[in-house]
Structure formats: structure tokens, C-alpha cells
Amino acid sequence: MTTTETINDTPIERPKPKDYKSDLKPVWCPGCGNYAVLNALAQAFTDLEIPRENLAVITGIGCSSRLPGYLSTYGFNSLHGRALPIALGVKLANPSITVIAAGGDGDGFSIGGGHVPHAVRRNADITYIVMDNRIYGLTKGQMSPTTPLDSYTSTTTYGSYDPPVNMAGYVLAYGAGFIARGFAGNIKQLTELFKQGILYRGFSFIQALSPCVTYRGQGEYAAIKAVSKDLPPDYDPGNLRAAWEIAENTDSEYLGVIYLNKNLVPYEERLARMRATALSRPVKPLDELMDEFKP
């Protein structure tokens, strides 16, 4: 239900976080970081007062990809790794809708890894949230693209031998204009990052460190907290060189907006320009067009 406030004797209805949640109860394991992501996202929608009918949440397959079912917005639980192209289709079909793509580290950077660079370079106005739990949770604990080196999992019984994918470095290299990292242990900060990502005009990428206590262990929150630190107050997210230094520092998990480029033109605007150019050109009669293709 919405709350009603009075401003200058005029009743104003304000949404509440529960307005954005469905009646379906999450089935994530107790302690899963995805609960924090769900709550932060609902709070971000509330703070921005986005009408539910103007929201679409698109996911792939996995624990984190259950998200649309727990939200009272438009949503689609799609195929493994295919959240981004479907989200792009939704945005292009109706540019007025706020589109959120979401999934896990395996969904986004293994099965769906080929879609990430093209989503970044197109720069459609989509917010992509990756819940990074460093494991395949839904399929029972296999090594994922972000599993730390030497970790013991159900598929690396002698320790993982592949170095983890650097998400921030990956999307920065492809030219993403908004890159942020948050932690499920700090819902308030995560909410603010979601809000900034949604408001950014273009493709925004947010890595949400979302511990899996079932397959990564009960100490995962403490382990992430031990290496996490907020970006310094004087940090300039518009400085590309500084962003690279943060992205390449794999010893610490810096939290906040890592990179922000306000000069990129959203994909929808470029398409509108192309469409206007095409429509401004004179249309040739059909018989003339056919003659151009005759041998």
C-alpha cells in the first residue's frame, strides 16, 4: 500500500518498498546476499517513485535470476545467460520503460559473457546488476567465473586453477560509462548505487557482492568485509586512469562508483537520429529500386 502525505493541504500518495514486492516469498537460503539486493532494489524504486507499470526486470537463470518473481513489476525470467539481449529488446520496444537486467556471475560472465561487451558498446539505457556470489549456487556449488584461485568447490576438489574474472576491469575495457560495486552487507549504500545506476543515461553496470553462505561458507560475509573498503572521499569517478587503478586492485574490493562518464550518447538517441535521417531522404518509386538490383 502507498502512504499518503499532505503538502499544502494536497494529499500526495507515496509508494513504499513493499508496494514493489510480490506476494511470492523468496526461497533463497537463509543468509543469502540476494535478500539484500531485493530489498535495496525495492527501496531504490521507492525513492525514485517509479510507477510499477514503468518497470521491467529481466533475468537469466540461477538463484539470483529468481528476482522478477519477487517483484510486483513487469518481469521476465529468461534463458541462462540471455538477460541482456532480452532487456535490450524490451528497451528498444518501449524506451520509456526503466529496464533492469540482473543475474549471477556465472549467468553473466560465463554462459552470457558474449553478450556483455556488445551491451556495453551499444550503451542502451539499461541497468545491469550482477549478484556476484563467486559460485554456482542453484546447480550445487560448482566453480564460477569469479571463484577465487585455489578455492575448493564441487568441480575443483584440488582447488580452482583458473584466475577469477575481473568484472570491473572487463566492462571498463569495453567502455562502460557507469561502473559501481556494492556489498550485500551494506544495504543503504547498495540502494544508493542502484539509484545512481538507474538515473544514469546509458548502460550502467553494478557488481553486487552477494555472499552464498551455503556453498562459500558461513564466513563469506566476514571474508568480503575484511577486504572491502569505501572509495576515498576525494576519489574522482570521472578519472579513467584512477578507475583503472581501482579495477586492477584485486587485493581490495573498493565499494562505490568506480567510473562515471557523462559524455556517452545512449543507444536510443543514436537510433532516433538514424531514423530521422532515413525518413528525411526522398523515397524512390518501387520500380526504380528494382531496376537498381537488376543484372
Q: pLDDT of 59-89, one tens digit each?
A: 999 999 999 999 999 999 999 999 999 999 9
Report yes or no on 48 lying in a domain: yes
Q: Which domain holds residue 258?
A: 15-264
pLDDT value at residue 7: 56
Residue keyed to cell 537520429: 273
> What value does the mean pLDDT of the chain take?
94
Report yes or no on 210 lying in a domain: yes
Beta strand 74-77 pairing with 55-59: parallel
Q: In what order do the strands lie in the sheet with 126-132?
A: 74-77, 55-59, 98-104, 126-132, 204-209, 178-183, 253-260, 228-230
Single pTM value for the model? 0.92
pLDDT value at residue 9: 62
**Range name among 7-11, 115-119, 158-162, 283-287 with the lowest pLDDT average:** 7-11
Report yes or no on 1 lying in a domain: no
Count of the separate structural domains present in the chain: 1
274 half-sphere exposure, CB direction, 13 A CA radius = 6
Q: pLDDT of 20-37, one tens digit each?
A: 999 999 999 999 999 999
Q: pLDDT of 208-245, one tens digit each?
A: 999 999 999 999 999 999 999 999 999 999 999 999 99
Report yes or no on 3 lying in a domain: no
Using a pLDDT cut of 90, give the percent of the chain over it.
89
**How many whole angstroms separate alpha carbon 125 and alpha carbon 123?**
6
pLDDT value at residue 295: 79
Using a pLDDT cut of 70, give the percent of the chain over it.
96
Query: Can you give the CATH number for the domain in which 225 is found?
Result: 3.40.50.970
Report yes or no on 102 lying in a domain: yes
Report yes or no on 8 lying in a domain: no
DSSP 1: -
∠ CA 100-133-157, rounded to 5°: 145
Is a pLDDT exceeding 80 seen at residue 4? no
pLDDT value at residue 293: 87
Report yes or no on 281 lying in a domain: no
Instruction: Give first-to-last CA distance, the chain, whole Å.
Output: 68
Q: pLDDT of 147-182, one tens digit each?
A: 999 999 999 999 999 999 999 999 999 999 999 999
pLDDT value at residue 1: 44
Report yes or no on 272 lying in a domain: no
Q: What SS3 string covers 143-194?
A: CCCCCCCCCCECCECCCCCCCCCCHHHHHHHCCCCEEEEEECCCHHHHHHHH
